[in-house]
Amino acid sequence: MREITYAQAMLEALQEEFRRDKRYIYLGTITPAPMVQEFGEERIRSTSISESGFAGAAIGLAGSGYRPVANMGMATFAFVAMDQFVNQAAKITYMFGGQAKFPIVYMMTVGAGGYMAAQHQISPYAMYMNVPGLKIVLPATPHDAKGLLKTALRDNNPVIFFPNTVMSNLKGQVPEEEHIIPFGQADVARKGRDVTVVALSRMRIEALAAAEELGQRGVSLEVIDPRTMVPLDIKAIRDSVARTGRLVVVDEACSTCSAASEITALVVKDAQTFGKLKSAPKLVCGLNVPIPYSPPMEKYAVPDKNRIMDAVSEAMG
């Protein structure tokens, strides 16, 4: 199977779907040159720096029979359009009594690692998880970036697609043939017997590195990448925890009201799974601070392989 980058995988998904259906329209302050060359400026629209404007325009386009993709850039830029996401796109199908569909893909990058300071680095997917009506996608590999983006593009509901900021050049295997990954299906990235590690987005890489090192010491980690937070494949996570008896959840967002705490709550509220726990679940999250600009301080604020290994050691007792 060929290897392409994370960014190339997403571009391929967009190109293939735009060729398949002329109703797709792309909106963003930065437009991909290959998309402009192939589909023209009528379909690939370069917008002004007004996120609330084109986030709202996407809702109007979707209600008029188009299938818009609105690239917000960094997730921090999207906060000025919260009304459009939370009060409009998420609720409009419900308020129309299901009589109209609003197929919109909002794309925004998340995560630290680029030394771009607090106003350019954040992982706010838990904020959007709290809003009924939005589907939430966190691709962690080129394989998943393409397969999940194609699914998002074909969905008839608003989807927020969260690529990771620093993974654009990450290479991985991606099929050349049609490649679609259904929402709500977690990926068991590594099978193991001692501890279940649920790792979100880029933390999958750190978790696999920790699993490799601990495996050499005789500790077997099962690494699960949820891939989509809404819908969430909680069954796969519970089944794994029932086998291992231990849970570590890794998320570079801070732990307060986080996706990590939601996963933990959904595991322990299930009586059957709770009864099989051998130790208290552990959360490995970003520090509860804005992301620092200083490279050493940024590294300190974000989870890594070593912090995951420490949490596993605590879970193992």
Q: What is the pLDDT of residue 114?
A: 86
Mean model confidence pLDDT for the chain: 96
- The pLDDT of 130-148, averaged and rounded, is 98
* DSSP state for residue 192 in the 8-state scheme: -
Helix (H, G, I), strand (E, B) or coil at 284: strand
- pLDDT of 125 strictly over 90: yes
pLDDT score of 314: 97
Retrieve residue 142's tokens.
């080129």
What percentage of residues in the chain have a pLDDT greater than 90? 97
pLDDT above 90 (res 73): yes
* DSSP code string of 54-122: HHHHHHHHHHTT-EEEEEEEEGGGGGGGHIIIIIIITTHHHHTTTSS----EEEEEB---S---GGG--
Domain 187-316, what fold? Rossmann fold (3.40.50)
For 151-201, write each residue's pLDDT tens digit.
Answer: 999 999 999 999 999 999 999 999 999 999 999 999 999 999 999 999 999
- Best CATH choice for the domain 3-173 from the list 1.20.210.10, 3.40.50.970, 3.40.1170.10, 3.40.50.410: 3.40.50.970
Q: What is the pLDDT of residue 264?
A: 98
The residue written with tokens 């992301």 in the block is 291
Looking at residue 307, what is its pLDDT? 98
At 3 the pLDDT is 97
Q: Are 42 and 71 a contacting pair, CB within 8 Å?
A: no
**Extents of the domains making up the chain:** 3-173, 187-316
The arithmetic mean of pLDDT across residues 44-61, rounded, is 96
Q: What is the per-residue pLDDT for 42? A: 95
Query: Do residues 85 and 132 touch, judged by C-beta distance below 8 A?
Result: no
C-alpha of 97 from chain center: 29
- Residues with a known catalytic role: 120
Predicted confidence (pLDDT) at residue 208 exceeds the cutoff of 90: yes
Query: Using alpha carbons only, what angle is made at residue 52 by residues 49 and 58, rounded to the nearest 5 degrees?
Result: 100
pTM above 0.75, yes or no: yes
The whole-number average pLDDT for the span 87-107 is: 96
Question: Which band of pLDDT confidence, cut at 50, 70 and 90, is reported for residue 297?
Answer: very high
Greater model confidence, 1 or 45: 45
Q: How far is CA 170 from CA 141, 151, 275, in A?
A: 8, 21, 40
Percent of the chain with pLDDT over 70: 100
Where does the pLDDT of residue 1 fall: very low under 50, low under 70, confident under 90, or very high at 90 and above? confident
Residue environment code for 167-188, b if the CB has 16+ CB neighbours within 10 A, otherwise e:
beebebebeeeebebebbebbe
In this structure, what are the phi and psi dihedrals at residue 129, rounded to the nearest 5 degrees? -60, -25
pLDDT in tens, 238-283: 999 999 999 999 999 999 999 999 999 999 999 999 999 999 999 9
Q: What is the pLDDT of residue 285?
A: 97
Q: Which two tokens stand for residue 143?
A: 């394989």
- Give the pLDDT mean for 226-236: 98
